[in-house]
């Protein structure tokens, strides 16, 4: 059974700092891993998708890495801004196409 | 439309009534997922459709929940005899099908709708 864990559950950092969000999964037989952000009362916005054959993906100030063998992914946010405040969700797509989510990290950037 | 569309955006219903939630996936996406998100909680998988294959219903919490997908496009999630614990945001997502045979690659990014907030009173 695939379980996805995100640490920390909540994080507050001053504006401008670089930060790392962690995601771990128990079964390395995944097809891909996707990072989302969710603003309060809203749906999910896709940030980055990493295929199982890839090691990292970058988009602007965001960089996501994947180490399938150790069951870990990290989302790196550079030069954080107040607009980055949201809940960040990690999701793994199993080879049977089911997508399993972690419970998320609530991020608050202090102005 | 350009994105995943869900309707209604909000639904208030009386305990014991049936409700239907609708999801219009992105055109061409063969995979469609339903999730439930209770207040302050993570996303709970409910059901998954892939093309014409039998759906994966393993996440449906009880037999009061059912879903169908007509013509491989629009999906309806039905909750019968609603209970207060059914109150949550119901989210729908769609994506292209993954490549089979161990091949990697292909755009299987999942896109979500804005959700339906269901309140059972």
pLDDT of A110 above 80 = yes
| Residue among B48, B116, B55 nearest B86 (CA) | B116
**Using a CB-CB distance cutoff of 8 angstroms, which residues of chain A are in contact with residue B9?**
none
Q: Within a 10 A sphere around the Cβ of B83, how many other Cβ atoms?
A: 12
A40 vs B98 pLDDT, higher one: A40
User: Quick check: A52 and A69 in contact, CB under 8 A?
Assistant: no
In angstroms, rounded to a whole number, what is the distance separating the alpha carbons of residues A57 and B25?
26
Kindly determine whether residue B110 and residue A97, on different chains, have CB atoms separated by under 8 Å. Answer: no
Higher pLDDT: B57 or B98? It is: B57
Mutate to test the interface with B, among A35, A99, A105 (most CBs of B within 10 A): A99
**Model confidence at B68: pLDDT above 70:** yes
**Residue in A32, A91, A93, A97 to test binding to B, most B beta-carbons within 10 Å:** A97
B17 — contact with chain A (CB < 8 Å)? no
**Contacts A103 to B, Cβ<8 Å:** 41-42
Mind listing the pLDDT tens digit for each residue in A74-98?
A: 999 999 999 999 999 999 999 888 8
Q: How confident is the model at residue B100 (pLDDT cuts 50, 70, 90)?
A: low
Q: Are B90 and B36 in contact (CB under 8 A)?
A: yes
d(CA B90, CA B41): 12
Cα–Cα distance, B2 to A15 (Å, whole number): 34
Pairing of strands B10-13, B116-120: parallel
Chain A residues inside the 8 Å CB shell of B115: 42-43
Q: How far is A43 from chain B (nearest CA, A)?
A: 4
pLDDT score recorded for residue A2: 84
DSSP B56: B
């Amino acid at each position: 059974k695939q379980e996805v864990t995100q640490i920390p559950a909540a994080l507050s950092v001053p504006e401008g700092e670089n930060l790392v969000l962690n995601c771990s999964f128990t079964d390395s037989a995944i097809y891909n891993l996707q990072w989302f952000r969710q603003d309060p009362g809203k749906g999910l916005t896709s940030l980055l998708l990493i295929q199982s054959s890839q090691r990292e993906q970058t988009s602007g100030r965001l960089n996501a890495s994947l180490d399938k063998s150790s069951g870990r992914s990290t989302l790196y946010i550079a030069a954080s801004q107040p607009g980055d405040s949201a809940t960040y969700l990690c999701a793994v797509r199993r080879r049977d196409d089911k997508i399993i989510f972690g419970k998320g990290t609530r991020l608050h950037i202090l102005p | 439309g350009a994105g995943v569309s869900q309707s209604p955006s909000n639904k208030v219903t009386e305990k014991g009534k049936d409700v239907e939630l609708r999801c219009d996936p992105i055109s061409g996406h063969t995979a469609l997922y339903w999730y439930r998100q209770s207040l302050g909680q993570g996303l709970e998988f409910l059901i998954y459709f892939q093309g014409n294959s039998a759906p994966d219903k393993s996440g449906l919490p009880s037999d009061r929940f059912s879903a169908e997908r007509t013509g491989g496009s629009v999906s309806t999630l039905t909750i019968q005899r609603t209970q207060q614990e059914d109150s949550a945001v119901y989210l729908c997502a769609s994506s292209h099908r993954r490549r089979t045979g161990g091949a990697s690659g292909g755009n299987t990014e999942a896109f979500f709708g804005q959700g339906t907030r269901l309140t059972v009173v």
